[in-house]
Each structure stands twice: as structure tokens, then as C-alpha cells.
Amino acid sequence: MERKTESGYLVLADISGYTSFIAKTEIEHAEKAISILLEAVIEKLDDMLTIVELEGDAVFAYVPEDRMPDCNAMLELLDGTYRIFRDSARDLHAHATCPCKACVAIPTLDLKFIVHHGEYIVRQVAGISGLLGNDVTLVHMLAKNRVAESTGWNGYLLFTGKCLENMKADKQPFIQQAETYKHLGDVETYVMDMHVRYEGMSK
């Protein structure tokens, strides 16, 4: 049976600092904290996106392009998701009843978003849905980027140029960068500091 190629927005919400957090802290409390934070992220993203899978420290989701009105709608969704993540992390830290390394280190965790527009095929295997396609591969590769190195940001939003163009969005509020990947060449990206946006939401 031939599968239909679809177009839409691919979103990866990835916890920054996860590897260090897990490696340097008590595994039981660390995993509990990560699970609570990921559940909060999934619950909010599920308002508009279809969750594809949980990938350790990341949530992968998508939405067909005709179900995402514009860039403002995407920003509103991601702003809300980031706010819930940060507020949940603060609550976990504030109400921790033990001095273990995991509970103390919760504030070191952050959240980054990778958003790309592209084509994909939805496949079903044994009742489990998944996405296939070069654009699916790209959005995952973009999680390994130079944003933290070049800006110092651990919580940020990264749109591909292709994504903003498809949304007919204003690129002025973003910082333009380029990432280079083997077999893909240069990928134009636009990034935004989520800490600044969070501070604006908190006022």
C-alpha cells in the first residue's frame, strides 16, 4: 500500500542539560524530575500538535500545515510550553524535600525548540505511528547546533529559514545563523532567546 507524502511543521522540544543532569545526579530522583517536566511539555504541545514519540530527553511532534494558521500561533504554543516547563522546574526545585544532587540541579535544565517545515510520510507499524523523510532526519540533526556556543543560550527557539518563509513570517526578531551538516550542506536558521520571552511573559 502506497503511503501519501504530506507537508507540515516538524517540532522537536529538547531538554538542554539532560546528559549532564543524568550523569552527575541520583538516577531515581533525576528520572522522576525529567518525567514530570516532559509530561508538562507533552500536555501543552498536544493542544495543537500530534505527538509522534518521546525520545529520552525530547518530544517529537508535528502538525499538517493547514492546521497551523501562522507563525504567531506557533510562537504562542511554544511560549506557553516553555512557560509551563520553567514554572514546573521552579516548583519541583522549590518543593524538593531532600538535598540530593538531582533536586539541587533542577534549575540547570532548560528547553529548546527546533521547528522545520517539510515533507514526511506517516507510517503505522503494529499500531505505532512514526514519521519518515529527509526533513524528519534534518529536524533531529538540527538539535546538534552551534546556538549555545555562539550565543550562550541554553533555552531557545530555532526556526529554519524554510519554515519562516512558508509561514510568511517576519525574520527581523530573530538572529540569523547557518548550520552545516554532512550530505545536507548549509541550513539557514533563525534563533530567538526563550529566556527573554519568558521574562516578558512573567511580567
| Closest-CA residue to 34 (of 82, 102, 96) | 102
| Closest-CA residue to 109 (of 12, 194, 202, 203) | 194
Average pLDDT on 24-53 reads 85
Quote the CA–CA distance of 136 and 44 in Å, as a whole number.
21
pTM of the model: 0.91
Average pLDDT on 81-102 reads 83
The helix/strand/coil state of 193 is strand
| Closest-CA residue to 157 (of 81, 97, 62, 63) | 81
CATH number, residue 59: 3.30.70.1230
Instruction: Say which residue, 108 or 160, is predicted with more confidence.
Output: 160
118-172 tens-digit pLDDT: 999 998 765 667 899 999 999 999 999 999 999 999 999 999 999 999 999 999 9
Domain extent, residue 150, equals: 5-202
Instruction: Say which residue, 20 or 62, is predicted with more confidence.
Output: 62
Number of domains within the chain:
1
CA 37 vs CA 84, 160, 174, 180, 184: distances in Å: 9, 26, 27, 31, 33
Which set of grid coordinates corresponds to residue 22?
543524568
Quote the CA–CA distance of 127 and 123 in Å, as a whole number.
9
Quote the CA–CA distance of 103 and 107 in Å, as a whole number.
9
Which set of grid coordinates corresponds to residue 131?
514519521
- Model pLDDT, residue 141: 94
Quote the CA–CA distance of 158 and 160 in Å, as a whole number.
7
- Mean model confidence pLDDT for the chain: 88
Residue 52 confidence (pLDDT) above 60:
yes
Residue 101 confidence (pLDDT) above 90:
no
Quote the CA–CA distance of 136 and 121 in Å, as a whole number.
9
The total of other beta-carbon atoms located within 10 Å of residue 141's CB is 17
Q: Mention every residue, 6+ apart, whose C-beta is less than 8 A from residue 170.
A: 71
98 pLDDT tier (thresholds 50, 70, 90): confident
